[in-house]
Amino acid sequence: MPPKAKIRGPTDPKQQKLSFFTNKSTESLSSPDSAEVSEEQTKTNDNDVRHYQSKWLTVHPWLEFDGTKMFCKHCKQFGMQNIFTTGNTNFRTSTLTRHIASNDHQRAIMAPREQENLKKTVENVQNKEEKAIVIAMKAVYWLSKEGIALSKYSSMIRFLKDIGVSDIDSLNVNKHVDYSSYNTANDLLKSISNVINNDTTERLRRSPHLTILTDESTDIANHHKLSVSARIINPSSLQPSTLFLTDLRITNGTGKGIFEAIKEHLDSRGIEVKLVMGLGTDSASTMTGRKEELTGHFLRHNPHLQNTHCAAHRLALCTEQAAKKVPGMLKFQETLVTIFLSF
Lowest model confidence (mean pLDDT) among 84-88, 187-191, 218-222: 218-222
266 occurs within a structural domain: yes
Same-domain check for residues 300 and 263:
yes
**Whose CA is closest to 172, among 124, 136, 209?**
136
Same-domain check for residues 182 and 223:
no
Final residue before a domain boundary, out of 160, 194, 228? 194
334 occurs within a structural domain: no
Same-domain check for residues 274 and 307:
yes
174 occurs within a structural domain: yes
Predicted confidence (pLDDT) at residue 69 exceeds the cutoff of 70: yes
Domain range for 131 is 127-194
284 occurs within a structural domain: yes
Same-domain check for residues 267 and 227:
yes
* Per-residue pLDDT, 12: 52
259 occurs within a structural domain: yes
Same-domain check for residues 190 and 212:
no
Read off the pLDDT of residues 16-68 as tens digits, 9 standing for 90 and up: 544 444 444 444 444 334 333 333 333 444 444 578 888 888 888 889 998 89
Rounded to the nearest integer, the mean pLDDT of the chain is 80
Same-domain check for residues 211 and 313:
yes
Residue ranges of alpha helices (H) inside 213-293 are 255-268, 285-288
* Per-residue pLDDT, 34: 35
* Element of type H or E holding 329: helix 327-342
Same-domain check for residues 217 and 319:
yes
Same-domain check for residues 189 and 215:
no
Residues 108, 77 contacting (CB under 8 angstroms): yes
Final residue before a domain boundary, out of 171, 194, 217? 194
Predicted confidence (pLDDT) at residue 246 exceeds the cutoff of 50: yes
34 occurs within a structural domain: no
Q: Measured between alpha carbons, how far is 128 from 134 in angstroms, rounded to an integer?
A: 10
Final residue before a domain boundary, out of 167, 194, 221? 194
- Cβ neighbours of 208 (radius 10 Å): 9
Same-domain check for residues 211 and 185:
no
109 occurs within a structural domain: no
* Per-residue pLDDT, 229: 93
329 occurs within a structural domain: no
The pTM of the full predicted model, rounded to 2 decimals, is 0.52
Same-domain check for residues 219 and 184:
no
Instruction: Determine the straight-line distance between the first and last CA of the chain, rounded to whole angstroms.
Output: 150
Predicted confidence (pLDDT) at residue 223 exceeds the cutoff of 90: no
Q: Measured between alpha carbons, how far is 172 from 132 in angstroms, rounded to an integer?
A: 10
- The CATH code of the domain that includes 315 is 3.30.420
Read off the pLDDT of residues 315-339 as tens digits, 9 standing for 90 and up: 888 888 888 888 888 888 889 999 9
Average pLDDT over residues 261-287: 90
Same-domain check for residues 65 and 151:
no
* Per-residue pLDDT, 249: 87
Give me the number of domains the chain comprises. 3
Residues 280, 211 contacting (CB under 8 angstroms): yes
Predicted confidence (pLDDT) at residue 127 exceeds the cutoff of 90: no
Beta-bridge mates of residue 247: 227
Buried b / exposed e along 154-187 (16+ C-beta atoms within 10 A)? eebbeebeeeeeeebebbeeeeeebbbeeebbee
Same-domain check for residues 184 and 288:
no
Q: Give the residue with greater pLDDT, 11 vs 198.
A: 198
